[in-house]
Amino acid sequence: MPTIRSCLEHRHSYVRRNAVLAIFTIYKNFDFLIPDAPELIANFLESEQVNSEILKFATFPQINFLIRTCLANEMPS
């Protein structure tokens, strides 16, 4: 999993986008592999620029689904 985490800081937006999707999929199916996935994705989304390419690839329903499914009940305090 360290490789996927390092891809969140890659210079190309498509690599960062795919890393987020990979983390989400792994967490959704095998949450014990990346127990800190909700916090990891939340921190990533906070650090991304609002006008970032990664957010241009996703529609609002997709972002809402990601937040509701992965982050809603597990946001760090």
- Domain locations in the chain as residue ranges: 2-71
| pLDDT tens digits for range 50-72 | 545 555 555 556 666 666 666 55
- Rounded Cα–Cα distance for residues 26 and 68 (Å): 16
Average pLDDT over residues 7-36: 88
Q: Which of 18-22, 58-62, 73-77 has the highest mean pLDDT?
A: 18-22
pLDDT at 28 exceeding the cut of 70: yes
Average pLDDT over residues 5-34: 89
Burial of 13 (0-12, 13-18, 19+ CB in 10 A): middle
Instruction: Tell me 12's DSSP state.
Output: S
Instruction: Name residue 75's amino acid.
Output: M
> Of 6, 5, 62, 10, nearest to 39 (Cα)?
5
